[in-house]
Homo-oligomer: A and B are copies of this chain.
């Protein structure tokens, strides 16, 4: 049974990303996501050799093996698209929730971008339909995570908690009540990895 999973990195003060992609925004982005960059498994996804074989790297590899299609937001797409290139790191169908429809964009290595204008529930449904036994990943942005939680679409929340108070930026969670149950905690080198089922 395919699960729908929000999985994101967040600081101890609950920040998931910068407000804007300026120089300070990039510094904050690196503070929160930087634990991934040295990992062997993360580098492999990006088509790069080398990197650290660590607890964090194995957690990342397990997640990557588990997830098939992804649902992402328009802001994340617009920011990432030029960098993801012709063989993007998703290696699976990606559904972009947006108000501006456009034709599907196929890429190499299993990635395609499909633009869904009928909302988060429709995007999750389309992702489920092609999941083929894997789980559906919602990895950004913050708005996608909040919308999916508010709509009751989420089965699990995976938090990679980085050991920093950053004091500025966008909170992953800001409003709304959800009861969860912790089903796994793994202490890695660069983050504590907490996995929760939504009750």
Contacts and interface: CB of A to CB of B under 8 A. Distances in A.
A182 B192 contact: yes
Contacts of A163: 179-182, 196
Number of this chain's copies in the assembly equals 2
Interface residues of A, number: 32
Nearest to A179: B164
A159 B11 CA distance: 13
A172 to B, nearest CB: 8
A165 B178 contact: yes
Nearest to A178: B165
Interface in A150-199: 157, 159, 161, 163-168, 171-182, 184-187, 192, 194, 196
A14 interface: yes
Contact of A176 (B14, B149, B165, B182): B165
Interface of A: 12-14, 149, 157, 159, 161, 163-168, 171-182, 184-187, 192, 194, 196
15 contacts: A12-B173, A12-B196, A13-B14, A13-B171, A13-B172, A164-B180, A165-B178, A166-B177, A167-B173, A167-B175, A167-B177, A168-B175, A185-B185, A185-B192, A192-B194
